[in-house]
């Protein structure tokens, strides 16, 4: 495959992906702004997200992706990226906040997560140019999500 064909294929893929994104523009901007509140404490990380509309507005879940080690004695190991979140900055994403809660829950009956417990910060409110949003900032990604980054092992 020539470089021109590869570039055309990449352009087609980008166009198709943009056409399947049914989120309103204000929600895309909100997700990008919310992703900025994650501050990795070591290395770097990628933010994953999921958006769903329900009867009360939009549910937006964000999480810091994991990193897979490639090569060396830790080959295949999945590392959690440590991070912090400025809660005051999260509240500024909203025009008004109606509820803010922190959860630490067991995963005994929830097989979406690998960890024994998970934590999340949930903020509900209204967003400019949009509607009602419930933002969930997850302490760890769901287990069906693969690593966000791959890191070559350093010997």
Q: In whole angstroms, what is the distance from residue 148 CA to residue 79 CA?
A: 10
* Geometric angle at alpha carbon 125, from 123 and 126, rounded to 5°: 145
44-81 pLDDT, tens digit each: 778 999 999 988 899 999 998 887 788 888 787 777 88
What is the number of other CB atoms lying within 10 angstroms of the CB of residue 66?
Answer: 22
Q: Which of 67, 42, 70 is nearest to 153 (CA)?
A: 70
Sequence spans of domains, the chain: 24-152
Q: How far is C-alpha 81 from the geometric centre of its chain's CA atoms?
A: 13
DSSP one-letter code for 65:
P
Residues contacting 128, CB < 8 A, separation 6+: 26, 95
Share the mean pLDDT of the chain.
Answer: 83
Strands 132-138 and 149-152: unpaired
pTM (global) more than 0.85: no
Residues contacting 74, CB < 8 A, separation 6+: 153
Q: Which pLDDT belongs to residue 154?
A: 75
74-94 pLDDT, tens digit each: 787 777 888 999 999 999 999
């Amino acid at each position: 495959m020539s470089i021109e064909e590869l570039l055309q294929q990449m352009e087609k893929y980008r166009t198709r992906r943009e056409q399947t994104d049914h989120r309103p523009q204000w929600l895309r901007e909100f997700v990008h702004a919310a992703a900025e509140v994650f501050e990795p404490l070591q290395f770097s990380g990628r933010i994953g997200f999921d958006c769903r509309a329900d009867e009360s507005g939009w549910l937006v879940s964000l999480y810091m992706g994991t990193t897979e080690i490639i090569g060396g004695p830790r080959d295949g190991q999945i590392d959690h990226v440590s991070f912090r979140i400025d809660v005051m900055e999260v509240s500024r994403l909203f025009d008004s906040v109606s509820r803010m809660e922190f959860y630490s829950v067991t995963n005994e009956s929830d097989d979406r997560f690998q960890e024994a417990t998970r934590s999340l910060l949930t903020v509900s409110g209204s967003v400019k140019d949009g509607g009602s949003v419930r933002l969930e900032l997850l302490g760890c990604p769901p287990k069906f999500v693969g690593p966000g980054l791959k890191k070559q092992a350093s010997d």
